[in-house]
Amino acid sequence: MTVMEQRKRKIIHILSNTREFVTADELSAALRLSTKSIYRIVKAINEDATIDYVILSEKGKGYRLSFHHQEKPQSQKAEMPNALTPVERRNKVMEELLLISPKRKNIFSLYQPFYVSETVINSDEKLISEALQRFELTVSRKNKMIGVNGAEKNIRRALQEYIQQTRNIRLDDLHVTNEAFNRYDAEFVLRQLNLIENHLGLVIPHPYNINLFSHLYILLRRFRKVGNSFNEDILDEKEKQQMQENPELTTIAKEIIGNSEQYLHTKLPENESYYMYQYLVSSRMQKATDELEDLSEQVKLISNAFIEKMSTQLQRSFEDEELFGKLARHIKPMINRLRHGIEVKNNLLEQIKLEYTDLFFATEETAREICQVYDLPALTEDEIGFVTLYFAQAIEEHPQQLKVMIVCTTGIGTSDLLKVKVHKKFRELAITAVLPSRDVEAALKQHPDTEMIISTVQLTIDSPIPVVIVSAMLTMEDQKRLEVMIGRVRND
């Protein structure tokens, strides 16, 4: 990660952890940079078209994070009717080249709708080539003809990612509102998803339904562009054996491909059933009543490894049967996805990184270690985001309480009232003692794990433990100061 990216993340992390405005001076002090540098970094964040949030600035107040698209400065969205940005143009060209592969197309015919110069075309070709390298695909141009070369599975991976990144797929109203898809093909695919759900007696959850939709839709679009000659791979014995491991999903996969053959009026290659099977076993298809005993030993080991390592990293216990069950049921199809090279997009990824920054990085490090131990392909950031959410849910449901002592002048009356008010307002605090100020030092020896003191009087103690001075009435101002201190203690 570059220094610039680290600074961006630090600013976003600071802003995401407060509802108030943060001044440029405060950000400057936190990052140890000049305010001029802070202005430049904020500007760079707001100019990033790949993120769905914006940093708002208000004179005299500072900066605040917003997730509302409409608040993005209009200067960043200089939209013209029927105009495409360079990124949108390149995406359209790349989609067409992927769909017609292994065929080629005249490059000037390909670019004719965009009215751009040959210099722009050459620049686009280079950028598209670079984008497709990570899918092990190459762009070749001979004379005026251009095309994409590579394995069919890699072409589909690239198309899958392109479709999910550039089109907001909502399966509930797709057949009515989404003009980005061929209406008849989309409705056929939706019927197949319903068929899968009826056979299995469950609802395919997001994002697995999106993945299945994209896979089938791409199959139909590929056929319409190049016929059924695009897939010449032959199903080998190992792949046939894999399909025997889950007869129910194999039967469904073959039925879906059979329906597709009738819809397209053609015979599709045998391995299309295998591709379909891969997507089914890589989706979370468990029913709520499925037993944990049905999970493989490897799934259980990996799930326990995640829980143990995350407990060590975050210094808190995640030993929970419910968390293990949820995590294990996610990890089972995740392992299949990793082995088959199937990727799922996590639409909440950026928000997960903002809301649970430290937790995401802890999960990322844990995943890296586990993948090495169990010889698994590395998890993508999308996959790490999904795993992070399971631990985030466990933390939200069972927050780790801070141990606090309540101190008053005498320890009688007012301290009991304060105790009730603190307990009612701050469930994340565990009150270990209520005592008069004269007994504080002795109490700290009895409770060495105390993390904070709430006091109605000024204390003079030789201890690094933070003290928050409040009134016995615990006013709104007191509560705000207490919230700030709780946040600081947790961060420390």
> Torsion over CA of 358, 326, 320 and 302, rounded to 10 degrees?
-70
CA distance to 292, 306, 370, 398, per residue, from 322 (Å): 11, 14, 21, 12
d(CA 244, CA 303): 25
Instruction: For residues 137 and 283, give the distance between their C-alpha atoms in angstroms, rounded to a whole number.
Output: 26
Task: Give rounded-to-5 percent helix, strand, coil for the chain.
Answer: 60, 10, 30
Q: How far apart are CA 398 and CA 291, in angstroms?
A: 25
Burial readout 403-427 (b: 16 or more C-beta within 10 A, e: otherwise): ebbbbbeebeebbeebbebbeeebe
DSSP E strand boundaries for 88-211: 105-106, 138-142, 145-149
- Name the DSSP class of 401: P
Tell me what pLDDT residue 72 has: 46
Residue with tokens 């469950």: 202
pLDDT at 177 over 50: no
Stretch 84-112: mean pLDDT:
88
Q: Which two tokens stand for residue 67?
A: 């997730």
Per-residue pLDDT at 173 exceeds 60: no
Distance CA 168, CA 171 (A): 10
Section 320-348 average pLDDT: 87
Which residues, in sequence order, are bridge partners of residue 405? 433, 453
Q: Scanning the structure block, which residue is given the tokens 């019927």?
A: 191
**Which DSSP helix (H) or strand (E) runs through 128?**
helix 118-133
In the prediction, which pLDDT does 172 show?
59
What confidence tens digit (pLDDT) does each residue in 421-466 have? 888 888 788 888 888 888 888 888 888 889 899 998 888 777 788 9
CA distance 357 to 351: 9
DSSP state of 378: P
Higher pLDDT, 4 or 292: 4
Strand partners, 469: 455
Please report, as a single letter, which amino acid is at residue 119.
T
Model confidence at 389: pLDDT above 80: yes
Q: Is 123 buried (19+), middle (13-18) or exposed (0-12) by CB count in 10 A?
A: middle
Whole-angstrom distance, CA of residue 424 vs CA of residue 429: 10
Chain-centroid distance, C-alpha 332: 18
Is 287's pLDDT higher than 80?
Answer: no
Lowest mean pLDDT among 61-70, 237-246, 293-302, 382-391: 61-70
DSSP 287: -
The one-character DSSP state at 281 is H
